[in-house]
Amino acid sequence: MSKKVLVVEGGFSAEREVSLVSGHGIAEALREEGYDVKEHDLHDVRKFLDALYEYKPDVVFNALHGNWGEDGEIQGLLDMLQIPYTHSGLKASAVGMDKQLTKLVCHTIGIKTPLGEKTTYKHFVDEGTMVTMPYVIKPVCDGSSVGVHIIRNNDDLKNVEFNDDDEILVEKYISGHELTVAVVEGKALTVTEMRPKEGFYDYHAKYTDGATEHIIPAQIPEAAFNEAMRYAEKLHKTLGCKTVSRCDLRYNEEDGVVLLEINTAPGMTPLSLVPEQYKYCGGTYSKLCKILVEEASCRKM
């Protein structure tokens, strides 16, 4: 009998639409691999619990992005229910989603991150920041560059909107090459450089076909290439990530390689970077999905 997989997609975050695209692609790939697959659009927790009870999946494929999907919430629920799920567990997901906690971990293991500070938006407005322009303002916990603002002058501050008590990270802006490294089963695949045709690598550039040129492998010095690979593998291992993760970085000659964030449940849309790197290294999208299913687990009681 084929393994039953419930692909959970949609969710409650700002990345809902991206998650739905990821979920559809994953479900199709898993059916091609012979799995019994059902998709579930998570927009009501009680209905999700009903779907788990009725379908009784062997594995939940976590295709959720952003808050509630990548931050340990869904992982904790599935741990309690003792249902195996894909990607990282509660601890790695929670730390990886919190950019400030990730920075603290990086500092202890010799991974360079941008100079910055965590604060609330109200405190930032009232007191300013120690970080000199240009700098970046972003939510402490969010993904897909949602809410990210590059501040080069005071006029740029007019476009920044947060609630007073929102936690934000203010970081030095690192110019140069925009890089990413996927790690699959503990091994870094390669380094990709993203070159947006306009602006920076924001939500639009990530998910709009043709908006960004992907250069694979990245055309950067060998030492920087190897450093980016080493950073991604080291952080994946230190956080205890499982099966797949992706690190986003920047590189220039002055600052060197600087890690921006880790994604413990990276996107799986047709434009996503992990499937692209996996294919470049000789794999297929469906095989990557299969590996995630076969390595699914939950915390043991």
Question: 4-87+288-294 domain in CATH 3.30.70.870?
Answer: no
H helical segments located in the chain: 16-32, 45-55, 73-81, 90-97, 99-108, 121-127, 203-207, 222-239, 273-280, 285-294
Mean residue pLDDT across the chain: 92
93 is catalytic: no
119, HSE (Cβ side, Cα atoms, 13 Å): 17
Enumerate the CATH 3.40.50.20 domain ranges in the chain, comma separated.
Answer: 4-87+288-294
**Which residue of the set 145, 267, 276, 285 is catalytic?**
267
53, HSE (Cβ side, Cα atoms, 13 Å): 6
Residue 201 pLDDT greater than 90, yes or no: no
CB atoms within 10 A of CB 133: 14
55 is catalytic: no
DSSP-derived 3-state class of residue 95: helix
Residue 159 pLDDT greater than 90, yes or no: no
Q: Quote the CA–CA distance of 66 and 72 in Å, as a whole number.
A: 10
Q: Quote the CA–CA distance of 140 and 39 in Å, as a whole number.
A: 30
Q: Region 282-290: what's the mean pLDDT?
A: 96
Residue 143 pLDDT greater than 70, yes or no: no
Question: 95-113+175-283 domain in CATH 3.30.470.20?
Answer: yes
Q: Which one has a higher pLDDT value, 74 or 207?
A: 74
**Which residue of the set 178, 227, 261, 276 is catalytic?**
261
- pTM for this entry: 0.91
pLDDT for the residue 245: 97
pLDDT band, residue 205 (cuts 50/70/90): very low
DSSP symbol at 154: G
13 is catalytic: no
> Phi and psi for 182 in degrees, rounded to 5?
-90, 140
pLDDT for the residue 200: 52
Question: 105: Cβ–Cβ under 8 A, 6 or more apart, which residues?
Answer: 95, 235, 238, 239
66 is catalytic: no
Give the bridge partners for 80, in sequence order: none
pLDDT band, residue 199 (cuts 50/70/90): low
Cα R_g (the chain), whole angstroms: 19
Instruction: Provide the b/e sequence for 90-99 (b: ≥16 CB within 10 Å).
Output: bebbbbbbbb
Terminal CA-to-CA distance of the chain, rounded, Å? 27
**Which residue of the set 10, 11, 13, 15 is catalytic?**
15
Q: Quote the CA–CA distance of 207 and 220 in Å, as a whole number.
A: 24
144 is catalytic: yes
**Which residue of the set 72, 263, 272, 285 is catalytic?**
263
Residue 52 pLDDT greater than 90, yes or no: yes
Q: Region 209-234: what's the mean pLDDT?
A: 92
Enumerate the CATH 3.30.470.20 domain ranges in the chain, comma separated.
Answer: 95-113+175-283
pLDDT tens for 1-29 read: 789 999 999 988 888 888 999 999 999 99
pLDDT for the residue 13: 82
Q: Quote the CA–CA distance of 23 and 62 in Å, as a whole number.
A: 8
**Which residue of the set 39, 79, 248, 276 is catalytic?**
248
15 is catalytic: yes
Q: Quote the CA–CA distance of 193 and 212 in Å, as a whole number.
A: 10
248 is catalytic: yes
pLDDT tens for 68-77 read: 899 999 999 9
159 is catalytic: no
**Which residue of the set 88, 144, 145, 245 is catalytic?**
144
- CB–CB of 85/60 below 8 Å? yes
Q: Quote the CA–CA distance of 7 and 4 in Å, as a whole number.
A: 10
DSSP-derived 3-state class of residue 110: coil
Enumerate the CATH 3.30.1490.20 domain ranges in the chain, comma separated.
Answer: 116-172
pLDDT for the residue 204: 46
CATH class of 116-172: alpha beta
